[in-house]
Structure 1
Amino acid sequence: MKLVFCGTPEFAVPTLKAVVAAGHEVALVLTQPDRAVGRTQEMHAPPVKRLALELAIPVVQPEKIKTNQELRSQLEGIAPDAILIVAYGRIIPQWMLDLPPLGNINLHGSLLPKYRGAAPIQWAVAEGESITGVTTMRIDAGLDTGDMLLAKAVPIALEETSVDLFQSLAEVGAELMLETLRGLADGSIVPQPQNHSLATLAPILKREDGAIDFTGTASRIHARWRGFQPWPGAYTTLRGKKFLVHRMRLTDEHTSQPAGTLLVHGDELRVSCGDGSVLAWDEVQLEGKRRMNAAEFLRGYQVVTGELVGL
């Protein structure tokens, strides 16, 4: 097929690689503009742009799409069979939806209609799901509401973070996109409308999503920490300062201490959570200080059982 590919982050890279390796003609790549990163504000190209340049595929990086007549004329001149959308990060305008005969095919990082929105992978982990997956769908004017084409389930391991899951779903998604293109080409795919009554939302992450609510169980807090990697992570306050928890794990311990109470066991730092459950904190960071393992932190700050966090 002749295709236009729209994508930006690392998650989209395996799909672009796969469609090119399968012999499809990617006539153009759309990706977001280069962005200034870090303290030096050095400009960085998106991962999809870097791959497209390696593959000698023309790249455009429009700031706006809806009223971009130059881009519209360019895509109409290409006349693609389909437009592929993988984590592009832009709303697709109606003129673009109407252009290719096979539609705008999106690879979404969940089993729709669950977890529609900007952060489906993170929220699936944060909500403690044991299974998620990827779905190919035809984009319509709504938010991830279009007809589904194919889906593949993927298990979530108990210790798996959203960073781990991004990598595995990206690879599974690339294969699913190839399967989808084959099915569209031979007419074997029957698009299925979503059951909108089963939809859940996965909104864009905010800094406050990382704030630890100690009334939740250890399992819930641990799931949210795994889901919100690398950002916004998990944090609370200790002695009036922000306190980051970089690594945590579940324990079998139970306590009668109030939620948010620190528990010191030798070189181990633990905290009481909802229903008497207990989390171990293996790597922490007090505001203005460097990251430390629990033993080093306990030696440096003389923390004792009974001290409270989150006040």
Structure 2
Amino acid sequence: MAFPDKLEKNHQQKSYFNSPTKYPQRDRGSYNSTVRSQELILFMKIVFMGTPYFAIPVLDAISADGHDIVAVYTQPDRTSGRGRKVTMSAVKEHAVSKNFQVLQPGNFQADPSQIPILADFKADIAVVAAYGTLLPSEILDMFPYGCINLHPSLLPKYRGASPVSTAILEAEKVTGITIIQLDSGMDSGPILAQKEAPIGEGTLCNELTEKLFYIGADLIVETISNLAKGVIKPRQQDNENATYTKKLVRKDGLIDWKDRAGVIWRKIKAHHPWPGSYTHFNGKNLKIIEARISENYKLGPGCVSIHDNAVYIGTSDDSLIVSQLQSEGSKITSATDFARGHRDFENSILS
């Protein structure tokens, strides 16, 4: 994509937000391009697209940097629970609290009448952070600076729906965040910026995801500024080295106790909170919430033993010491409390 030499002039800024703690609002001065300390600072009209809670720091960062958030797009409200309670996305809830204009068209391809509404905002760029649906080519080509997307992996590695989970499952020591220019492919667009991040030994998927999007929040601000200044040289991805991840479904969380302890332990971390890592006990699902590996106590695969006031479950090699679990329809509890309440748990064989 060829980027414009300069922004459209005379954009108007609305007082949409209070300054968040993490991202103090930058002094805008004039909205037009200004030279301040020999640095060209440009403020853009931005459409933000995101849905889950970990996208919120990205929205906060670009708004605090002085850009005009003309609209926030997020997925439609959903009904959940026995009472079919209507719940809004985390991004919508946050955006409403900041008085941003929120739109929830769902799938643009299924309802193309929503595309002209988006075009009417006359934004310079769209920032996409876990929006949750593919964008048609009419939208990808709509903005002068295109659509830029935060992807939580070091592309071209781990394209697709579950890059963070997959990195943990594959025992990676390092991952990262990549900002790309969206194209019609699956996370295949040119790389605009990239930053590495270590994966801690006990880090859960949700914790790592939050960390990566906080890093991405700072990186997106830098990227927008560099795009406006025209100093970014997009780097094409090496498609021959691309790897892909799948969308996780509930059955992916089922534990096979014949696997090695390390494999199961990574699965528990990678699948938290979705789809969770579970086994079967007395005909019900039993989620393993927290565990660690023990090399000193050997049991058969799936065998449960209580030793020194700790719950052990055997695998094909070492055992897992389980500290927290959750029975189907119940709250999270300590494994020892669960064992006290279920006398047949000890010496059972999980499947």
Q: TM-score, normalised by structure 2?
A: 0.81
Q: What secondary structure is seen at the aligned counterpart in 2 of 1:78?
A: coil
Q: What secondary structure is seen at the aligned counterpart in 2 of 1:14?
A: helix
Q: Which residue of 2 aligns with 1:260?
A: 302
Match of 1:45 among 73, 88, 93: 88
Q: 1:304 to 1:31 in 2, by over 3 A?
A: closer
Question: Structure 1 residues 69-78 or 127-136, which shifts more?
Answer: 69-78
Letter in 1 for 2:119: E
Q: Which residue of 2 aligns with 1:181?
A: 224
Q: Which residue of 2 aligns with 1:277?
A: 318
CA–CA distance in 1 between the matches of 2:228 and 2:116?
A: 26
Match of 2:52 among 2, 5, 9: 9
* Alignment of structure 1 residues 62-211 onto 2, 5 Å: 62-66=105-109, 68-211=111-254
Contact 1:267–1:298 at 8 Å: present in 2 too? no
Q: What secondary structure is seen at the aligned counterpart in 2 of 1:236?
A: strand
Equivalent pairs counted in the alignment come to: 308
Q: What secondary structure is seen at the aligned counterpart in 2 of 1:113?
A: coil
Q: TM-score, normalised by structure 1?
A: 0.91
Contact 1:127–1:224 at 8 Å: present in 2 too? no
Match of 1:299 among 340, 343, 347: 340
Is residue 2:331 matched to residue 1:308? no
What percentage of residue pairs aligned between the two structures are identical? 35
Write the deviation string for residues 161-187 of structure 1: whole angstroms up to 9, x where unpaired. Answer: 012112211211111111111111112
CA–CA distance in 2 between the matches of 1:58 and 1:290?
A: 37
Is residue 2:271 matched to residue 1:228? yes
Give RMSD over aligned pairs: 2.0
Q: Deviation of residue 252 (structure 1)?
A: 3.0
Contact 1:110–1:133 at 8 Å: present in 2 too? yes
Contact 1:222–1:250 at 8 Å: present in 2 too? yes
CA–CA distance in 2 between the matches of 1:175 and 1:98?
A: 25
Write the deviation string for residues 197-242 of structure 1: whole angstroms up to 9, x where unpaired. Answer: 2222221111111111222221211111111111221111234443
Write the deviation string for residues 242-285 of structure 1: whole angstroms up to 9, x where unpaired. Answer: 33222211223252x432222331321112223x2111111234
Q: Structure 2: which 5+ residue stretches go unaligned? A: 1-43
Q: 1:54 to 1:308 in 2, by over 3 A?
A: closer
Q: 1:262 to 1:69 in 2, by over 3 A?
A: closer
CA–CA distance in 2 between the matches of 1:59 and 1:289?
A: 35
Q: Structure 1: which 5+ residue stretches go unaligned? A: none
Q: Which residue of 2 aligns with 1:219?
A: 262
